[in-house]
Amino acid sequence: DVKVTQSSRYLVKRTGEKVFLECVQDMDHENMFWYRQDPGLGLRLIYFSYDVKMKEKGDIPEGYSVSREKKERFSLILESASTNQTSMYLCASGPDEQFFGPGTRLTVL
């Protein structure tokens, strides 16, 4: 079975802090994705990557950056967290269909 893991299930940070969310997949997938999910807005794509050191902006990249130094790992970075970044963050990987990690519920105070 595909396994996608995320570094934290719950995270509480303060406004202005730098936040790192890490995602690891064990299926040698080239494609990896970061989404956020908010009530009424559905899943929104933040960034994705088709290969090591490659990144593409999704629909809502503002306020975020990403890093893909190794094939299995895709990190999402909030350079200066703000309250409107309080959300559920979901990482996914897959060649066509996508497999999701358990999510990180981030609260920014």
Partner 1 sequence: RKEVEQDPGPFNVPEGATVAFNCTYSNSASQSFFWYRQDCRKEPKLLMSVYSSGNEDGRFTAQLNRASQYISLLIRDSKLSDSATYLCSLNQAGTALIFGKGTTLSVSS
Q: List contacts with partner 1 (CB under 8 A).
A: 31, 33, 40-43, 45, 48, 58-59, 90, 96-103, 105
Q: Cβ closer to partner 1: 49 or 75?
A: 49
Q: Cβ closer to partner 1: 16 or 95?
A: 95
Secondary structure in 3-state letters for 40-91 = CCEEEEEEEECCCCCCEECCCCCCEEEEEEECCEEEEEECCCCHHHCEEEEE
- In whole angstroms, the minimum distance from the beta carbon of 60 to partner 1 comes to 11
